[in-house]
Amino acid sequence: MKLTDLCRLVFHFVRTRWLLRFSSRAALQAWQQKKITAFLKQQLPLTPFYQQYAGLTLQELPVIDKAVALEYFQHMNVANISLEQASAIALQSENSRNFSAELDGITVGLSSGTQGPRGVFLTSGKERAKWAGIMMARTMPADLLHSLIFRATPIRIAFFLRANSNLYTTLNSKRIHFKFYDLYEGVDVHLPELQAQVPTILVAPAHILSRLAELKLQGHLTISPQRVISVAEVLEPDDKSRIEAAFGLPVHQLYQCTEGFLAYTCELGVLHLNEEFIHIEPEWLDQEKTRFVPIITDFTRVTQKVIRYRLNDVLRVRDAQCSCGRVSLALAAIEGRCDDILWWQQRNGHELVAVYPDMLRHAITMASISLPDYRLEQHGSELLIAIESGETATINEAMNEMIAAITGLAERLGLLAPNFKSMTYVAGEISSKRRRIRCVSRTDIQHIRHIVEKSAEVAHA
Ligand SMILES: [Zn+2]
C-alpha cells in the first residue's frame, strides 16, 4: 500500500472510530443534511446522468433501482466506464479467479447475487483506502486494535466469499494478513489452510460460518477466532446459535453490498445503519413503521454514484434504541429480499397480506422439535416445503412440525393457511447465496374472487 493510501486509511479509521459522534439523532441528521447538500452541489454537475438535475435537492431527485443503474451505468460514473467494459473485466476476473485487474486505476467488482442481472461496482484507489479505514473502524474489537498497535504478531483475517476484490485486499499489509478463501472451490477443501492460518477474525456468509461451526463442534477444526462476522446473506436463527455455540462468541454482522456499506453490529451486537456515510430513506411497508425498504444515498462515494437507489431488501427496525450510545438507527434484522415476502389471503376477506420471512423463521424456530435445513416456496395458493434429507421417519416428523408451525402462524395472523405440498430438497451450490424462503408467485386474487362470487351466486339461487 502506498504511504498516501495508508495515511488516508488511518485518517478514516480514527475519524470513524472516535470523531464521528453525535449527541442526538437530530444532530446526526442535521450534519448529514449539510454533507448531502455539499455533495450534490459538487457532484451532480460532474456526473452526466445527474447534470440535468443540478441544483435540485435530494428529495427532488429520481428514485432509481438496479435496472436503471445498469442501463445508465456509464452516465452514473465519472470515469466514463461503460457497463460492457466493466462487465468484461469483472467476468474475466471471475473466470480466472484473479481479482486484481483494474481499469485505469479503478477497481471493478461484481455483486455476488444470483438473482437477475448482477450489480457492478467501481471504486478508485482513494475510495478503497477510505473504505478499508471505515471497515476496520466498524469491525475491529478494542483488544484486537490494541494488539494491532502494540504487539508484534499481525492480525489474520480469513475471508470466505464467492469473489475476492481489490477492495478487500486493500486491508492486506504487514500488520494485517488477509487471506481469501474462494467458495467456488467449496468449504472443506480450505480446511487445512484455514487451520494453519489460525485466523483472528473469521468472515463468511452465514451458511458457511454454520458449516465451519459444525466442523468445529465435531472436532475437525480447532480455530478460535476472536471475532466472527457474518456477511452477504440473512443470518438465520439456527445458524446464529450454532455459530455462537461453536466459537463461544456473539456473531457480528456486516451488511455490505455493491451499493455500499450499509450496516454493522456495534460492540453490543446490535445492528446499526452506517448513517455517517450513507443516507437511508425508509420506504415503509406497514403503518406501524416496523419494516422498510431502504432508498440509499452514499454521500461520500464519488466515482460511481449511488443516489436515491432503492434496494430490494426488507429491514426491520429495533423496538428500542441501542444502549451503546450511537444515535444511528438500530435494526432488529435484515430480513431478506422483497421477493422473500409471502402473501397469504385474509381469513375474513379477499386481501392478500404480507407474511415477512422473519415471521416464518420465528415460527419455525419455536417448533417443538429442532428442524433440519429447509426451503419454502410460495407458488400461488400453494406453499412448497422441502426438508433436508434424513431418515424417512424424521423427514415426515419434521414436515408435520413445519406444517403445524406455519398453520399456527397463519391462525395468529388471521390468514388462511396455504395449501401445503412437499418438494425435493436441493442443497444448492455452496458458492451461491442461500435463500430459504421465496415467493415465486402470489395467489391470483382475481381467481379467488371469481370463485367466491360464483359460489355466492349458487348459494343465492
Ligand atoms: Zn449499539
pLDDT digits (tens, 9 = 90+) for 216-275: 999 999 999 999 999 988 898 889 999 999 999 999 999 988 888 999 999 999 999 999
- Per-residue model confidence (pLDDT) at position 115: 60
Whether the predicted pLDDT of 8 surpasses 60: yes
- Ligand 1: centre distance to CA 275 (Å): 13
169 CA → ligand 1 middle, Å: 28
Instruction: Tell me how far the alpha carbon of residue 286 lies from the centroid of ligand 1, in angstroms.
Output: 25
Helices 3-14 and 125-139, interaxial angle, to 10°? 40
Given a cut of 80, whether residue 425 has pLDDT beyond it is yes
Please give the pLDDT value at position 230. Answer: 95
Q: Please give the Cα distance from 377 to 344 (Å, whole number).
A: 12
Ligand 1 center to 207 CA (angstroms): 25
Determine the Cα–Cα distance for residues 189 and 194; give it in Å rounded to an integer.
10
> Contact 251/212 with Cβ under 8 angstroms?
no
Identify the pLDDT of residue 360. 92
H-helix segments, 170-306: 191-197, 206-217, 237-247
Quickly state the pLDDT bin for 459 (edges 50, 70, 90).
very low
pLDDT at 209 over 90: yes
Helix (H), strand (E) counts: the chain = 14, 21
294, 338 Cβ separation under 8 angstroms: no
Q: Which grid cell is 8? A: 488516508
Mean pLDDT of the 170-182 span: 83
C-alpha of residue 431 to centroid of ligand 1, in Å? 31
* pLDDT range class, residue 443, cuts 50, 70, 90: confident
Q: How much is the pLDDT for 14?
A: 93
User: 267 C-alpha vs ligand 1 centroid, how far in Å?
Assistant: 7
- String of DSSP letters for 88-133: HHHHHHHHHT----EETTEEEEE----SSSPPEEEE-HHHHHHHHH
> Residue 195: its pLDDT value, please?
96
pLDDT exceeds cutoff 70 at 150: yes
Mean pLDDT of 165-187: 82
Mean pLDDT of 15-26: 94
Phi, psi of 429 (to 5 degrees): -65, 140
Asked whether the predicted pLDDT for residue 11 surpasses 70, the reply is yes
pLDDT digits (tens, 9 = 90+) for 231-244: 988 898 889 999 99
The confidence score (pLDDT) of residue 442 equals 83
pLDDT-based confidence at residue 445 (cuts at 50, 70, 90):
low
8 A C-beta contact, residue 266 and residue 252:
no
Helical ranges in 163-267 per DSSP H? 166-169, 191-197, 206-217, 237-247
pLDDT at 34 over 80: yes
For ligand 1, the distance from its centroid to the CA atom of residue 153, given in whole angstroms, is 29
CA of 328 to the centre of ligand 1 (A): 9
Name the grid cell of 94. 471471475
Confidence band (pLDDT; 50, 70, 90) for 116?
A: low
Give the cell for residue 311: 434496494
Q: Residue 89 C-alpha to ligand 1 middle, in angstroms?
A: 39
| Average of per-residue pLDDT across 187-191 | 91
Q: Copy the grid coordinates of residue 436.
A: 430459504
Neighbour count for residue 178 (Cβ, 10 Å): 20
Query: Which amino acid would we find at residue 120?
Result: V
Task: Give helix 237-247 / helix 206-217 axis angle, nearest 10°.
Answer: 40
Q: Which domains does the chain have, with CATH numbers?
A: 3-338 (3.40.50.12780), 341-458 (3.30.300)
